Amino acid sequence: MAADDPSRGPRRARLPSWATGLSARLLGLTFAFVMLSEVLIFAPSAGRYRVAYLEERLAAAHIAILALQATPDRAVSDSLEAELLDHARAYLVALRRPDGVKMVLGGENTPMADASFDLRERGLMAMIGDAFMTLAQGGNRILRIVGSSPRHPESVVELVIDEAPMRLALIDYSERILLLSVVISSITAGLLFFSLQRLMVRPIRRLTESMIAFREDPENGAARLPASRRRDEIGMAQRELIDMEEKLRAALHQKTRLAALGGAMTKVNHDLRNILATARLVSDRLADSGDPEVQRQTPILLRAIDRAVALCSDVLQFTREGPPRLERSRFRLAPLIDEVGAFLPLLPNGGFAFVNQVGEAVELAADRDQLFRALSNLARNAVEAGAGRLEIAATADGGRLSVIVADDGPGLPARARDKLFQPFAGSARPGGSGLGLAITRDLVRAHGGEVRLIRTGSDGTVFGIELPAGLPG
């Protein structure tokens, strides 16, 4: 069987497994970050441990050399000297007191020092560097150590020792720190993992599952998420997702009904228009009647038939249209506004004023025919609402163009303002379909702009259209 079989429908999206999902990444990152923190802590700890080790050796050396003070000539036998040096684990021990007295243990057969360190002058970075240098040594070095006695800081102790025992002690300390770091990292990662798994990952997976279920069956309300009482961002996201799904479900239901209406209108539109055409023909003949009453009522009948034909055409066109297809070009706006005024219907009693306030230099990049259609809908609505004056102006600010359409009509009623851009619901006049403003909004949004009602009242209505002035990048 083929991998992609169209007859079986789209493949259901699957959430990632535990090993490849957010949970495993969260666990790994937590462990890695805690280990990194432990490494950053270990570096100064190792340096400090090395210094503490050497200070212990200085303290032991100071105690060992104090045996010289018990002898009159500050000298001991060779066997006692060897025992004292073995106790201090040093080849040579020297002490210089503040009163100038100097004492030395050893001296004969003392090996040459490979490196010398003065603990009184070592900073933090030097301590860290010395510790890692000790760990990196493959063999044994002879070290000369100088520092203040931990018990008598005014006395200076000098000793020569092997580095290998200190290196072994430092390795043992590092292994203990590593083991402790692994334990701490594991415990911290586990606690953080289970906490975030409960607080974040599981709710996010529920949100994802809900979105997948909604995508596969948008009209099924049984798969909706339960309401959340959480006050954090995830709780807010869950509530907003529930609200969005409900609104989309209602919109899909409405669009399904509109699609069914469009299909029905397509079937009856042809016959209905033939019936209306026959009625128009009969009405035209009635206009030639000599009866004054018939002549007076015939224009009213003709306008009613024209509105019915226009309504059928608008409904059929709205249900058939898909997303607007734009063919952009750059043109001047003022001539287009003149064309909009030229195609407006004339009032029966005349006296209508159309004012084009757009400057000759104003240009934009848009679909000229679609923009003409959008502006014509706004202008025609103003005329049909009873406006005696219509004015269109435009201003350019940076890369945006603002078009203002203002009339002096009676204003929009409250029921029209509440559902202004909804088809079949936002009509401002009796018998209207409300499609003009809905189509205008779709056309303007297709250009990347927006149309809005600025104000309306007994002194007129003002609409604003915001458009990008340039071609899209």
Do 372 and 394 have their domain in common? yes
| Strand order, beta sheet including 450-457 | 353-356, 389-397, 400-407, 460-468, 450-457
Nearest to 115 by CA among 138, 140, 85, 89: 140
Do 315 and 339 have their domain in common? no
Do 31 and 178 have their domain in common? yes
Written as six digits, the tokens of 288 are 């030639």
Boundary-marking domain end, from 295, 320, 345: 320
Do 256 and 342 have their domain in common? no
Lowest-confidence range among 125-134, 403-412, 417-426?
417-426
Q: Which domain CATH number covers 453?
A: 3.30.565.10
C-alpha distances out from residue 403 to 79, 363, 374, 380, 466, Å: 108, 12, 12, 16, 6
| Residue 394 buriedness (CB in 10 A; 0-12 / 13-18 / 19+) | buried
C-alpha distances out from residue 285 to 142, 298, 299, 305, Å: 127, 9, 12, 14
Nearest to 218 by CA among 243, 259, 248, 239: 248
Does 15 or 157 have the greater pLDDT score?
A: 157
Do 102 and 166 have their domain in common? yes
* Domain with 409 in it: 327-468
Does 141 or 184 have the greater pLDDT score?
A: 141
Average pLDDT, the chain: 78
Residue 472 pLDDT greater than 60, yes or no: no
Do 301 and 338 have their domain in common? no
Boundary-marking domain end, from 285, 320, 355: 320
Q: Which domain CATH number covers 253?
A: 1.10.287
Q: How confident is the model at residue 336 (pLDDT cuts 50, 70, 90)?
A: very high
* The one-letter amino acid at 372: F
- Whose tokens are 């020792």? That residue is 161
In a domain, 197, yes or no: no
Boundary-marking domain end, from 142, 170, 186: 186
Do 182 and 225 have their domain in common? no
Written as six digits, the tokens of 331 are 């043109």
Do 344 and 424 have their domain in common? yes
Q: Indicate the DSSP class of residue 201.
A: I
The number of domains in the chain is 3
CB 365 within 8 A of CB 329: yes
pLDDT tens, residue by residue, 26-82: 777 877 887 788 778 888 888 888 888 888 888 888 888 877 777 776 677 778 888
Do 311 and 381 have their domain in common? no
Q: How confident is the model at residue 417 (pLDDT cuts 50, 70, 90)?
A: confident
Do 445 and 464 have their domain in common? yes
pLDDT tens, residue by residue, 84-109: 888 888 888 888 888 777 888 887 77
**pTM value?**
0.45
In a domain, 145, yes or no: yes
Do 174 and 266 have their domain in common? no
Q: How confident is the model at residue 452 (pLDDT cuts 50, 70, 90)?
A: very high
Do 34 and 160 have their domain in common? yes
Nearest to 422 by CA among 439, 409, 405, 407: 439
